[in-house]
């Protein structure tokens, strides 16, 4: 089971490396890793488990954060609708690739955080508001999916980890809250 001590923190060189594609068909090892990554996210969002295991809540995790330089990400975005408890997005993505993105950009009004960053880094992280992603899922199926708004932002944050990019690399150093007029601020 993945715990907080398994997650490497900023300054570790693996977080700055370009991760390698996984082989397709997927190995049992990679499938299992994906399952463990998703289990971590599920536990981290369960108030009882999170407290018991001392986990910080997360909506995404990338294999390089476990010091495993492979192109695997897990994303779990919980429902915000009590009538429909199904997660907005829950999948493990192998070799994800952004095949197109909107010109329109957006950022989260509250900025971003990361399980590999133990400090608050204020500022707007500007990303594409919509992306189209291809990836292989844990069943070995090739997927092509369009994401917008919050899920698109989360996926781009996790994808960055596969390319050695941290969220704060996108923040304007001089003025963290400067924005071009046409950037949407998502609340």
Residues that bind Ni ion (CB under 5 A): 114
> How many angstroms separate the CA atoms of 84 and 101, rounded?
29
Q: Which residue, 63 or 129, has its beta carbon nearer to Ni ion?
A: 63
* Tally of residues, the chain: 187
107 is in an annotated binding site: no
Q: Which residue, 114 or 140, has its beta carbon nearer to Ni ion?
A: 114
- What are the beta bridge partners of residue 92? 74
Whether 39 is catalytic = no
Least distance (Å) between residue 55 CB and Ni ion: 15
> How many angstroms separate the CA atoms of 10 and 25, rounded?
32
Handedness of CA 145, 147, 153, 154 (dihedral sign): negative
> What is the number of the residue whose Cβ is closest to Ni ion?
114
114 is in an annotated binding site: yes
Yes or no: say if 185 and 106 are a contact pair by the CB < 8 Å rule: yes
Least distance (Å) between residue 114 CB and Ni ion: 3
Q: Which residue, 42 or 117, has its beta carbon nearer to Ni ion?
A: 117
157 is in an annotated binding site: yes
Least distance (Å) between residue 7 CB and Ni ion: 9
Q: Which residue, 84 or 120, has its beta carbon nearer to Ni ion?
A: 120
Which region holds residue 140: left if phi is over 0, alpha if psi is between -120 and 50, else beta?
left
Catalytic option among 39, 83, 158, 187: 158
Per the listing, tokens 């001590």 go with 5
Backbone angles phi, psi at 15, to 5 degrees: -70, -10
Least distance (Å) between residue 15 CB and Ni ion: 9
Query: What residues form the annotated binding site for Fe cation?
Result: 114, 157, 161
- Residues with active-site annotation: 158
């Amino acid at each position: 089971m993945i715990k907080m001590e398994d997650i490497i923190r900023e300054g570790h060189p693996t977080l700055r490396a370009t991760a390698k594609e996984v082989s397709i068909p997927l190995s049992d090892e990679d499938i299992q890793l994906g399952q463990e990554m998703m289990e971590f996210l599920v536990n981290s969002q369960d108030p009882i488990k999170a407290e018991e295991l001392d986990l910080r809540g997360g909506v995404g995790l990338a294999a390089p954060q476990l010091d495993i330089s492979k192109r695997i990400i897990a994303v779990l975005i919980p429902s915000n609708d009590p009538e429909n408890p199904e997660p907005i997005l829950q999948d493990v993505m192998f070799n994800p690739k952004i095949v197109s993105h909107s010109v329109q950009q957006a950022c989260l009004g509250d900025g971003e955080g990361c399980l590999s960053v133990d400090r608050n880094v204020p500022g707007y992280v500007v990303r594409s508001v919509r992306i189209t992603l291809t990836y292989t899922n844990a069943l070995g199926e090739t997927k092509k999916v369009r994401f917008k708004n919050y899920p698109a932002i989360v996926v781009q944050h996790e994808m960055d980890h596969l390319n050695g990019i941290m969220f704060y690399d996108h923040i304007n150093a001089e003025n963290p809250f400067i924005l071009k007029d046409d950037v949407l601020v998502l609340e």
